[in-house]
Every structure is written in structure tokens, then in C-alpha cells.
Amino acid sequence: MVNSNERVLARLRLHRGFPMHVIDPFKVPVAEAVEKAVAVRALGHPALIVASTDYDRFEERMPGYLRALKEAVDIPLILHFPPRRGAGFPMVAGADAVMFPALLGSEDDYFIWKSYLETLADLPRRGIAPDRCPELLLAAALTFGPDPICYDLLGTMPVDQQPGRLEFLAEVISLLRFDVVYLFSRYAAVAPETCRFLRDRLRPEQLIFVGGGIQTSSQINVHRDAGADFVVFAGALEHPDWRASLERLCPAPADLPGPARQIKT
């Protein structure tokens, strides 16, 4: 049976309030990815996301890439890729969990949630036994601001950040007991008010991730203070001087003000 234990989810629930890094395996060379994984592990990050909106030759590139990361760090590796019709969500052995985005703002029911069904029915063809399947993180995904890349790939329309629509979506997410709510904005920004509004209405066990355009520690703090459990950054480290950026973005735990200091890793 899939998801008979929820180890990664349990770990995330115990380590709320951390930033989290996303590595794009189709942009970042594997040696650099390993160094970054070691660096965020040392900062106490509870997991590492391996993700890309687009991907090519997944089956070729990913097994070795994941293996190298697994050998370097003991924190969970979470895949986060959009599904493709006819194949579902891509997966690879060695991943501890897979984010399954349900794109509630899509015009296409496949991307809204029916990709879940296809992926699960397709596991045997891919040689994945249900009890060896990475843990599924069922993630309602809301995208804000115009985003032609997501529209072309996934039919996603920007979600209106006004209370009426958010109230409805919060009620849907609560009813369907998604594990995660992933708030994303590629070009605009997730409003901290959106984060707070959802935090006040979702079930306490539901985790809020915020990502897209996170470049500064003050952005991280604003979202964390507004109720985000994890603030996710990717592009901020996609340059040679990434160590300096990481230091600015995520001060070492002893320097952190407030509650994050008390969270045990």
C-alpha cells in the first residue's frame, strides 16, 4: 500500500519554520548540488527539494544525480516536478518523497488532480512496487501572478488573491486534507496576507510552503512570520558565489532570532 508510513511528512511537521532549498537538476551540475546539499544540511534544513518546471531525459539524468545526493546527506530528498499526460509524475528510486501538486488554478482537470490517478495506476509499468513508492506529499498548488510558462505547460491561471476566492480554496484544501499547500509566484510575489489568510483557515497539520523569487532573508522572515512553514528558494543560489548568498539568506542557527532557534533538527 502507498503511504502506509508518512516519515517525511512527520519530519516536516516537526521542523516548521525553516527555509528550504530547491536544486534544479537540469541546471545545476551534480558536484555543485552535492556541495549545496551538504551546506544546507549543516544549517539544519530538514529536507532538500529537487525540482524543475521543465525536464528532459528524466530517466537518464536523475538516478545518478539522486544517488550522489543520497551518498552526501541524510536529509530527505523531495522530488517536485509537474506531471505529463500519459506518464504522470516522474519518479526515481532513492527519492524519499514526491510532491504531487494538485493545480487548483488550472483549466485542465488532468493538472487539477487527475494526474494522481494516472501516476498510481502507472507504477507497475515503471517497475515501482506500491510499497517501494516514495512517500507522496499531496500538495494543493496555488500560483499567483501571470505565468505564461505554467500556463503553457499546465493550463494554470493565476489565482485571485482576494478573500472570496481564497476562502473557497481554503475550504476545498481543508475538506480534501491535502498534506501541503504550495504557494508559488514566478514573476510576482505571494502576498504575506495570502499566507496569513490561509494559515488561519487551514487545518493545523497542513503545511504551507511559499516559493518563487525568494532572494533575501527578510523575504523569508516576512513569510515565516505570516505563517509559512517553509520558505523555499532556488535561483538565489544559482551562481558561482552561492556560498555567500546562502550565508545571507540563512544565517547559521545560533544567529537566528526568535523561535527557530528552539527547533531541534
Binding positions for a copy of itself, rule: CB under 8 A: 1-3, 86, 104, 109, 112-114, 116-118, 120-125, 129-130, 133, 136, 168, 171-172, 175-177
- Residue 251 C-beta: closest distance to a copy of itself, Å: 38
Phi, psi (deg, nearest 5) at residue 66 = -65, -40
- Residue 115 C-beta: closest distance to a copy of itself, Å: 11
Instruction: Pick between residue 61 and residue 201 the one whose CB is nearest to a copy of itself.
Output: 201
Q: Three-class SS of residue 194? A: helix
- Residue 175 C-beta: closest distance to a copy of itself, Å: 7
Instruction: Pick between residue 86 and residue 240 the one whose CB is nearest to a copy of itself.
Output: 86
Instruction: Pick between residue 104 and residue 181 the one whose CB is nearest to a copy of itself.
Output: 104
Phi, psi (deg, nearest 5) at residue 47 = -165, 170
Spell out the long-range contacts of 113-119 with Cβ–Cβ below 8 A and sequence spacing 24 or more: 115/83, 115/85, 115/88, 115/89, 118/83, 118/85, 118/86, 118/87, 118/88, 119/83, 119/88, 119/89, 119/91
- Residue 98 C-beta: closest distance to a copy of itself, Å: 12
- Residue 70 C-beta: closest distance to a copy of itself, Å: 24
CB-CB contact of 134 with 95 (8 Å) = yes
Instruction: Pick between residue 27 and residue 177 the one whose CB is nearest to a copy of itself.
Output: 177
Instruction: Pick between residue 14 and residue 117 the one whose CB is nearest to a copy of itself.
Output: 117
Q: Three-class SS of residue 261? A: helix
The Cα 258–Cα 57 span in angstroms is: 44
- Residue 8 C-beta: closest distance to a copy of itself, Å: 16
The Cα 98–Cα 135 span in angstroms is: 6
Strand (E) positions, 83-202? 97-103, 135-143, 180-184
Instruction: Pick between residue 72 and residue 138 the one whose CB is nearest to a copy of itself.
Output: 138
The Cα 119–Cα 109 span in angstroms is: 14
